[in-house]
Amino acid sequence: MLIHMSPIILYPTETVYGLGVNAFDADAMKRLYTLKARDEKKAVSWLVRDYADIERYADVHEQTAKIASRFLPGPLTLVLPLKHNAVPLHLSSTQKIGFRISSDIFAQKVIHDFMEQYNAPLTCTSANVSGMQTEETVSQILAQFGEQKTMIDIIHDDGIRRGTPSTVIEVHDSTITLLREGAVLFSEIVEHLEH
């Protein structure tokens, strides 16, 4: 199989399967959007190894650290303002991005190896055609993509994944906004911040 300089990777997380490319590679990102038939104006989240990686790429607030200490790694996506001097120029117009630290052992190995090789985050977008449900198994996912499945360069099959998608919150200064309720209850996050 032809492996591109920056491959499209199908990998499991603690919730559902994700699709990853080098978040800093504009050509790889275009291929990802083509595969998913996704609007390029819609940002995709980044998978990173740990909170230090989040601090490296994003402006964080003390609220961010408090949330991360309790809920990460885990099924939570933190949407944060990017440090523009820490990301490539083609991302300079992107004011914020979602960050994930997966608790899935397989995903942790994938992101560790990827960042060792590319020194960049891996995208963490659900492995589905835009607007369709994310299937539970690799075979179902590949069937959904049809002929486009040949665009996926590396496949990590670790069995069924049927978790609830991650909760997505935006943290801007001290303001926390719920964007999508998922596996982590927003009420739990609020309660944690109040103590």
Give the 3-state secondary structure of the chain: CCCCCCCCEEEECCCCEEEECECCCHHHHHHHHHHHCCCCCCCCCEECCCHHHHHHHECCCHHHHHHHHHHCCCCEEEEEEECHHHCCHHHCCCCEEEEECCCCHHHHHHHHHHHHHHCCCEECEECCCCCCCCCCCHHHHHHHHHHHHHHCCEECCCCCCCCCCCEEEEEECCEEEEEECCCCCHHHHHHHHCC
Please return the burial class of 123, using the count of CB atoms within 10 Å of its CB with bins 0-12, 13-18 and 19+: buried
Q: Above 90 in pLDDT, residue 87?
A: no
pLDDT tens readout for residues 22-31: 999 999 999 9
Q: What is the pLDDT of residues 117-134, one digit of tens each?
A: 999 999 999 999 999 999
Q: Is the pLDDT of residue 5 over 80?
A: no
The full set of domains in the chain, from first to last, is 9-193 (3.90.870.10)
